Structure formats: structure tokens, C-alpha cells
């Protein structure tokens, strides 16, 4: 019996949090008819057009998930050129090369393309007005990708966390080792997103996009539920960590305002993303971030414990 051929999916930024999570979903990808090829900055520099061309031509790629990005929000204010290169110029090169080869591109973006002024969750049709260099560079990347490949998929997400990479969950646990009191912003709200939940949704999106009459192109939102503040997120982190036996004592958490939190890059007050469009397109996917906390903390060998 002949084994069906798997569609080869290139994952860029494989050294990052989302790329690492996707690498752990190879079995799930194969069940959906896909094989993930993982490329980090050492094996594929997406800032170099020739490297992109060489890689795509050598591997018979069916689609690309671009998770590579400059994500350090505050440092981006000083490293403008680097943020712009990685978040805007490199995705443009990738989209151009994909378009020339009829390869579908799925590009990751962020809630920080919005200014946070709206009272309700943001839809894909809402006007964008980023407050910081990171958000501005990511928005430029969205525009560049869709200009080069009109049938590309853009997925905006928010507040990613897992046991991998650098994120709020791991920062809280590390700070708690050395501080009895933590000051946490309470007037910024959003949807913490468990990276494996996002990764699984991305695989479903790609599976459908590669089928006849598949997923329509354009911008989609995927965000964890329920919405909460950074302060509320921190409270849940320590409650789950204590239940998992990771901390013997929960630090005192003090709510502060954005004005009290001195950072180089401004953050939107409302980062809540409406996921209705994606739910209608691919069906409701798991996105309860509290389940993600359980998953992240339950394994004693997890990087969260280091």
C-alpha cells in the first residue's frame, strides 16, 4: 500500500517559543497530512533573499509558517532598524519568494498593532494604530506580506506563553524566587494565549488552506480566553504554581497602573482580540489559557522550573 505524500511545511524561527512548540507537534502535523521542516536563524536567514530562494527550491515546500520575529517590545524602541528588518523587510522577502513559487504563507502578527482605545474586543476590520516600534514594524510586515502575496494568511495573537522561550509565565516564576512582593500592571487587559493552542490552530488553518476551496486569505485573530489583566494573569499563575508544588509561598502581588510601570514602549490598554472570524472558518478550537497553565506547570522537568 502506497503511503500518501505529506505536504512539506517550512517553519521559520524554529528557535523561538512558537517554533519550539510546533516542533513538538510533528505527530499531529503528520496526522493532518503535513511534515514540518524546522529552520532557525542558523539554517535559514530570512533577511537574505538568496537563502530563502535556495531553501524553497531545494525542499519542495507546500506552505510556510513564519514565526520568526523581533519580539522584545522595549528594546525595539532603541533597535529600530533591527526590529524593522526582522518584522517588516524579512517577511516581505519571504512573501515575494513564496508568491513566485505558488507557496502559501502563514505569517504571525500581534495584538500590538492596535492602540488599545476601544472598549470592546478588536476585530480584524478595526483600524490599526500601533503605539510602539514593535507594533509598527509588525503592522508594516502585515502590509508587506499581503502586498506581495494577496492570498497569504495573517494570524494575530496576544500574550503568548508556555514552558518554552521568554514569556510572562516564566518571568513571574523566576521573579518569585527572589522577591516577596511583585508589582503587576492591572489596567491592561487581553487574552493570554497558550502557544500549543495557537500552534494547533495554525496546523488546522494550513490543512484547510491547502485543500480545494480552502481557507480564505486575509487576517485572522487567535487569542486565549477568558480575557484578564496582567495582574489577574499573575494571580492565576501563582495559584496554579502553588497547586503544582512549584512555590511554597505566593509573593504579595500589588496592582499598579500603566503609568506606574516605566517602560520604553507603550502598551495598549485593551489587547482583547475577537476570534469570531476564525471560529466560523475552522471551527471552535481550544483556547482556555488556564488549561495551558496546567499543562505548562505539571511536568517537573519543564523549563519553567529552571
First vs last C-alpha separation in the chain: 47
Report the sign of the C-alpha dihedral through residues 88, 230, 168, 287, in that order: negative
Half-sphere exposure of 223 (CA within 13 A, CB side): 30
Residue 2 CA: distances (Å) to CA of 5, 26, 110: 9, 21, 42
Question: Which residues carry out catalysis?
Answer: 134
DSSP codes joined into one string, the chain: -PPPPPEEEEEE-TTSHHHHHHHTTHHHHHHTTEEEEEE-TTT--TT-HHHHHHHHHHHT-SEEEE------HHHHTT-HHHHHIIIIIHHHHHHHHHHHTT-EEEEEEEGGGS-S--SSPBPTTSPP--SSHHHHHHHHHHHHHHHH-TT-EEEEE-SEE-SSSS-HHHHHHHHHTT-SEEEEE-S-EE--EEHHHHHHHHHHHHHHHTSTT-PPPEEEE---BS-EEHHHHHHHHHHHHHHTTS-SSPPEEEEE-GGGS--SS---SB--B--HHHHHHH-----BHHHHHHHHHS-TTSGGG-
Record the cell numbers describing residue 63, joined without a space.
Answer: 506552505
The pair phi, psi for residue 83, each rounded to 5°, is -60, -40
Amino acid at each position: 500500500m502506497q503511503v500518501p505524500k505529506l505536504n512539506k511545511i517550512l517553519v521559520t524561527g524554529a528557535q523561538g517559543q512558537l517554533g519550539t512548540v510546533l516542533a513538538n507537534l510533528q505527530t499531529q502535523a503528520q496526522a493532518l497530512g503535513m511534515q514540518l521542516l524546522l529552520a532557525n536563524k542558523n539554517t535559514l536567514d530570512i533577511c537574505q533573499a538568496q537563502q530563502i530562494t535556495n531553501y524553497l527550491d531545494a525542499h519542495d515546500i507546500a506552505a510556510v509558517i513564519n514565526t520568526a520575529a523581533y519580539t522584545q517590545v522595549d528594546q525595539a524602541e532603541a533597535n529600530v532598524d533591527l526590529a524593522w528588518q526582522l518584522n517588516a523587510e524579512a517577511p516581505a522577502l519571504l512573501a515575494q519568494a513564496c508568491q513566485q513559487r505558488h507557496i502559501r504563507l502563514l505569517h504571525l502578527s500581534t495584538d500590538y498593532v492596535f492602540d488599545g482605545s476601544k472598549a470592546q474586543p478588536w476585530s480584524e476590520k478595526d483600524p490599526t494604530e500601533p503605539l510602539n516600534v514593535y507594533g509598527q514594524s509588525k503592522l508594516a510586515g502585515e502590509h508587506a506580506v499581503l502586498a506581495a502575496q494577496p492570498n497569504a494568511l495573517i494570524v494575530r495573537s496576544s500574550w503568548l506563553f508556555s514552558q518554552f522561550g521568554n514569556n510572562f509565565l516564566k518571568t513571574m516564576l523566576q521573579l518569585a524566587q527572589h522577591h516577596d512582593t511583585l508589582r503587576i500592571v492591572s489596567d491592561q487587559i487581553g487574552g493570554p494565549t497558550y502557544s500549543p493552542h495557537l500552534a494547533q490552530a495554525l496546523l488546522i488553518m494550513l490543512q484547510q488552506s491547502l485543500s480545494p476551496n480552502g481557507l480564505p486569505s486575509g487576517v485572522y485573530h487567535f487569542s486565549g480566553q477568558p480575557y484578564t489583566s496582567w495582574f489577574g494573569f499573575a494571580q492565576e499563575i501563582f495559584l496554579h504554581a502553588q497547586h503544582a508544588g512549584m512555590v511554597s509561598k505566593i509573593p504579595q502581588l500589588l496592582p499598579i497602573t500603566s503609568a506606574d510601570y516605566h517602560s520604553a514602549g507603550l502598551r495598549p490598554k485593551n489587547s482583547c482580540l475577537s476570534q469570531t472570524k476564525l471560529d466560523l472558518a475552522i471551527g471552535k478550537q481550544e483556547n482556555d489559557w488556564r488549561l495551558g497553565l496546567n499543562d505548562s506547570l505539571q511536568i517537573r522537568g519543564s523549563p519553567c522550573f529552571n
